[in-house]
Amino acid sequence: MKYALIILVVLLIVCGLPYRLGITRYHLSSARVKGELRICVMSDLHNDYYGKDMEKILKPIEDFSPDLILIPGDMVGDYARQNAYKLLKALGKYTTFYVTGNHEEYQKDPEGIISTVRSFGIHVPESTSEVLNIRGTEVEVGGIRCPHEVDKPTAEEVKKIFRTDAYRILLSHRPHWVDLYDECGIDLTVTGHAHGGQWRIPFTKQGIAAPNQGFFPKYTDGIIHLTHGDLLISRGLVRHYHRIPRLYNDPELIFLTVDKK
């Protein structure tokens, strides 16, 4: 009985390891959109490796042909940065926006990381926004750096980032600031950070733990429809965090389509 239980536990672990990169497709509609917006979202790479020249990520992005790529942080981490920089450099040919996560901010040189990312042609808004015209649709993309918890911005500070009535997108690393995002009334807020709960209860979407949310966290992935706008949470790309593998929780690349309501 003892050995059967051990075998069962081992099988459960082996079956739950992150063997593949998941592609998640979402659809939203908005009265502010005149045609169709194709948006790719990725986060929390933490310098993980995805094949030569990061092709396992880049190939599906090329096939999707996004209008925008949105990255809410934690791509560059605590050790060698070549994988993250190789990927980000390749993404420079797209219209790509990036904000820092807590791991970039914890580094000795967060300003150097931002400077390097910008050198690839990537936009890094810091409590600022940029207005784009994508096939007749006005899109305003803003972002905030990932502050320490005590430096959480106010709703008024976030609202001041935006200056138009376009389809407004906010990049912010932390997903659990739900009340803030709802109060701001942004059309789409894009976050990461929670890694999908790292370990999930098999055959469910319930994660075991997430930073700043504790055990059995509520905000770990998917689209949450707020009173004012939508919150999108990426599960992230890293497969092992501090040498702890994800279980029943594949890493994720998101393809979002937004069309006219």
- What CATH number should be reported for the domain holding residue 20? 3.60.21.10
| H helix intervals, 73-232 | 82-91, 102-106, 110-119, 155-159, 178-184
CB contact set of 16 (below 8 Å; sequence gap of 6+): 199, 200, 202, 247, 248, 249
What is the reported pLDDT for 179? Answer: 95
What is the reported pLDDT for 15? Answer: 61
The candidate with the shortest Cα–Cα distance to 24, out of 168, 173, 237, 207, is: 237
| H helix intervals, 17-122 | 55-64, 82-91, 102-106, 110-119
* DSSP, res 228: S
Residue 208: give the domain boundaries. 2-260
Residue 3: C-alpha distances to residues 15, 144, 182, 235 (Å): 18, 52, 51, 34
Give the span between the Cα atoms of 37 and 257, in whole angstroms. 6
Q: In the block, which residue shows the tokens 């069962």?
A: 8
Long-range contacts of 129-132 (CB under 8 A, 24+ apart): 129/161, 129/162, 129/163, 129/168, 130/97, 131/163, 131/164, 131/166, 132/68, 132/95
Give the span between the Cα atoms of 50 and 33, in whole angstroms. 34
Give the span between the Cα atoms of 18 and 248, in whole angstroms. 7
What is the reported pLDDT for 242? Answer: 74
Amino acid, res. 243: R
The segments of the chain whose pLDDT lies below 50 read: 9
What are 120-173's pLDDT values in tens digits? 999 999 999 999 999 999 999 999 999 776 688 999 999 999 999 999 999 999
Task: State CA 101 to chain mean position distance.
Answer: 10
What is the reported pLDDT for 1? Answer: 65
Domain count along the chain = 1
What is the reported pLDDT for 249? Answer: 92
What are 159-179's pLDDT values in tens digits? 999 999 999 999 999 999 999
Structure tokens at 155: 């709703």
